[in-house]
Structure 1
Amino acid sequence: MFDGVARRYDLTNTVLSGGRDAGWRRATREAVRARPGQTVLDVAAGTAVSTVELAAGGVTAIACDFSQGMLRAGAARAVPKVAGDAMALPLADASVDAVVISFGLRNVADPDAALREFLRVTRPGGTLVVCEFSSPTWTPFRTVYLEYLMRALPRIARAVSSNPDAYVYLAESIRAWPDQPTLAGRIQGAGWDDVAWRNLTGGIVALHRARRP
């Protein structure tokens, strides 16, 4: 499915988010707080547009994605790339300073297993940042947002995406995803400490940040 959306993935994301995707990427990079020389693993990196953002400021950012079609679509982006499963990463224990996953955790077959795997590859004291769709905090806005997801989003996707049917799944997966406190509890349950979150765009997106003990 992700191979099928790869060709126009970046354009579709920009259109569906109303251009807010660039701001979400900047906020994610800022949440990582990586220092020059550190290594950041960008899981579910897609075409690596998020990895390029993470690499700003002298950080080594590695794009990792299960979809080789996505990685091929981002081949021109000059960052290291590796094909890999979020639940079985092709990295050694304690080999990176931070793990980031943006809009990908809800697509993993077992998100809790992935969170434990992220812990395995992160050095003690290292950082996890999860940028994911979440639950708008204002009830009237949440109602309008859900209507957009289930009605408008698939229609817009038909106009711009290379695989519009995939965006029906996208809408359903966002609606089924746990809210901010529930996801925080699952991150903590996977072994991470100091779990906190910050809402973006009224809670459409939430940034969860945690530390490896």
Structure 2
Amino acid sequence: MSRAGLDKDPQAVAAMFDGVAKRYDLTNTVMSFGQDRRWRQITRQALDPKPTERVLDLAAGSGVSTAELARSGAWCVAADFSLGMLSVGRDRGLPMVAADALHLPFADASFDAATISFGLRNVVDTVAGLREMARVVRPGGRLVVCEFSTPTWEPFRTVYMNYVMRALPPIARAVSSNPDAYVYLAESIRSWPDQQALSTKIAEAGWSKVAWRDLMGGAVAVHRAFKPE
């Protein structure tokens, strides 16, 4: 099996996620101490999908996040570039589409809202991916990005970054089908922009009214934005 590098070559990233697909959701639950379920709920609440709306869940993996969004009654489609991840979720009964985040196979303004959870970090060009999401969302539509971020309290930040680099790989070896992939995970978290820097990128991609909410002291952040009317 493979692991991607921080150059985030799309083929390498897709192959890596194909390799971890079978136990990916379980591994995430173990490594987040069960907080992943709460993060999905908070993401749904931030996006606030309505029953009449169409929602894009990008980098949806097996669709576990899409299933949470669909609880709202909205029509939600799971999109991901890893066929292995989509295959794991094929029994969820959700619309699923193989898609490249930089070249989405959807018409302009075809969704009321879009979201991406713990996947924007894996897109080779962050701003281009955000801009492509803006293209497929209607004017006035919403964006929510849930992603690892930077703890705001320095003592916790130091402890957290040490946990990320030292504890994630051993935990992954116990539960994951490809532990080396979680070395990439740890490296990508450490190199990811902080909350303000990501907000700047979101605005640069054409979104407005960008705001965020810190979770776990900033270890995770939920960013929300709107497409200008």
Q: Does 1:207 align with 2:214?
A: no
**Pairwise CA distance, 1:13:** 0.2
TM-score (norm 2): 0.92
1:189 to 181, 204, 226: 204
**Shift in Å at residue 78 of structure 1?**
1.4
Deviation track 1:113-155 (CA, whole Å, cap 9, x = no partner) reads: 0000001000000000000000011110010001101101100
Q: Which amino acid aligns with 2:106?
A: L
State the 1:52 CA deviation. 0.1
Letter in 2 for 1:85: D
What TM-score do you get using the length of structure 1 for normalisation?
0.99
Number of aligned residue pairs: give it.
213
SS of 2:90's equivalent in the other structure is: coil
User: Among 14, 28, 41, which residue is 2:56 paired with?
Assistant: 41
- Aligned with residue 144 of structure 2, among 120, 124, 129: 129
Alpha-carbon displacement from aligned partner over 1:11-31 (angstroms, at most 9, x marks no partner): 000000010000000000000
Indicate the SS of the match to 2:177.
Answer: coil
Instruction: Tell me the equivalent position of 2:109.
Output: 94
C-alpha separation in 1, matches of 2:205 and 2:72: 30
Identity among equivalent positions (%) equals 66
What is the DSSP-based 3-state SS (H/G/I as helix, E as strand, rest coil) of the residue aligned with 2:101? coil
Separation (CA, whole Å) in 1 of partners of 2:76 and 2:151: 30
Question: Which of the numbers 22, 27, 30 marks the counterpart of 2:37?
Answer: 22
RMSD: 0.5
- For 1:192 and 1:11, the matched residues in 2 are separated by 33
- Structure 1 stretches of 4+ with a deviation exceeding 4 A read none
Letter in 2 for 1:69: G
Q: Which runs of 5+ in 1 are unaligned?
A: none
Q: Deviations over 1:2-54 (max 9, x none)?
A: 00000000100000001000000000000001111101100000010000000
Equivalent of 1:69 in 84, 98, 113? 84
The one-letter amino acid paired with 1:76 is: D
| 2:96 partner letter | K
Give the aligned partner of residue 166 of structure 1: 181
